[in-house]
Amino acid sequence: MQRPTLADWMTPDHSHWSFRHVRELIPTARIRHGRHPRELPFAPAGDLLALRFEGTGGEHVVGEFLAATRSDALVAVKDGKVALEWLAPGVRVDEPHLLFSVTKSITALLAGALAGADALDLDAPVTDYVPEVRDGGFGTATVRHLLDMEASYRFVEDYSPGIDLTLYRNAAGWYPAPPDHMGLREFLATREPEGEHGRVFRYLSPTTDMLGWVCEAAAGLPYALAVSQHLWVPMGAEADADVTLDRLGMPRAAGGISATPRDAARLGMIVAEGGAGIVPEWFVDDLTTGGDPAHWAAGDYAQWLPGGCYRSCWYQPRVDPDCVMAVGIHGQMIYVDRPRNVVVVKQSSWEVPDEDVRHTDNERLCRALSRALTAEEPAAAAV
């Protein structure tokens, strides 16, 4: 294999390898696990790889779908036990995989944990924690605006990539940049105002980097250490995770965490178990059912998830009740079905970053597995 570089690590020729070896390409900070991992006993639930489900283009078989869609790993957990674990050839169970924007959902759970510890006021102005951004686009936003992607400022989230995204990734250290190029903090502080906060869902990744900066200030800790202390250790992670850093040490709280599939499942179990004593139950209840559907319907992704909603960096499909998803480009997903106590994690290396049909098929796959694990659908067919 020709080793990827910072200039080409996200291309289809390299992504299957590089998404599992990010720390060899970009500076990272360790998110340390503790001494007492939570056991996830293996309890296979029949031949789930033979399960059929209805996708956007017709019927799929789970095992064939995974093999055909550049999937890297899938773990399904029911009642704290691993019902299905699938790995693509060459993928190891102990390899941390880049989660992309699933990281946003982790940052939101960190905010919830800090709120539960009375260290963070979710309704406070951002400038209470980070006064450095008072003159920019975040200057009049609240922490809640960040959590719900309702902060409005000048930025275009174009994965082609467009000029804004390229400059953003230069600042974050994901693309090559001149030595004097701005870092991520300066990039956030210099966003220009555009429109009113709190009116409509606007999917802008720098919003969650701003939330990560707020969490650092509220916790009085570097982001990686805060995630370790407030989430990774108490949830019983079995491996270290890591988060990418810019050249000045700023973490990419919107998309830079890599974690093993099983630890991603443990993270979803925090939500499935009503906070698990790690995040306040009220915060989890709110991210499951709260939010403003009108703001979603007028926002960026309404066509992809009609009738859905977004709250505290988690998506609500609102097909089955009390189900939420963390979603990342290139095919990452944590699907949580709270009533059924099921968590499904899917990690992928799609050749295209973002496609509604593929995200929808991932959601339908996870929903089918969740229903099958509760015997509500025949083992061979689910919609």
Give how far Cα 104 sits from Cα of 91, 203, 205, 274, 297, Å.
24, 11, 8, 19, 21
Q: How confident is the model at residue 264 (pLDDT cuts 50, 70, 90)?
A: very high
Q: For position 381, what pLDDT does the model report?
A: 43
Whether 20 shows a pLDDT value over 50: the answer reads yes
Rounded CA gap, 66 and 54, in Å?
A: 14
Question: What percentage of the chain exceeds 90 in pLDDT?
Answer: 96
What confidence category does residue 380 fall into, taking pLDDT thresholds of 50, 70 and 90?
very low
377, pLDDT greater than 90:
no
Q: Using a cut of 0.85, tell me whether the model's pTM lies above it.
A: yes
pLDDT digits (tens, 9 = 90+) for 100-157: 999 999 999 999 999 999 999 999 999 999 999 999 999 999 999 999 999 999 999 9
pLDDT in tens, 56-65: 999 999 999 9
Specify the pLDDT at position 298: 97
Span 161-188, mean pLDDT? 96
CATH, range 15-382? 3.40.710.10
pLDDT at 80: 98
SS3 290: coil
Tokens, residue 354: 């973002």
Tens of pLDDT, residue by residue over 208-261, are 999 999 999 999 999 999 999 999 999 999 999 999 999 999 999 999 999 999
Instruction: Please report which residue ranges of 141-205 form alpha helices under DSSP H.
Output: 143-147, 163-172, 184-189
Reported in sequence order, the residue ranges of 47-122 that DSSP labels E, i.e. its strands, are: 52-55, 58-61, 71-78, 81-87, 97-98
In the chain, where are the structural domains located?
A: 15-382
Residue of 376 and 158 predicted with greater confidence? 158
Phi, psi for 167 (deg, rounded to 5): -65, -40
Q: Which amino acid is at 238?
A: E
So what's the pLDDT on residue 1?
65
Encode pLDDT of 278-315 as tens digits: 999 999 999 999 999 999 999 999 999 999 999 999 99
Give the pLDDT of residue 163.
97
Give the pLDDT of residue 2: 87
pLDDT tops 80 at residue 376: no
**DSSP letters of 304-332?**
TSTT-EEETTEEE--SSTTEEEEEETTTE
Per-residue pLDDT at 38:
98
Percent of the chain with pLDDT over 70: 98
pLDDT the model gives residue 140: 98
Could you report the per-residue pLDDT of 314-363, keeping only the tens digit for each?
Answer: 999 999 999 999 999 999 999 999 999 999 999 999 999 999 999 999 99
Taking all residues of the chain, what is their mean pLDDT, rounded to a whole number?
96
Give the pLDDT score at 383.
43
Is 194 in a helix, a strand, or coil?
Answer: coil
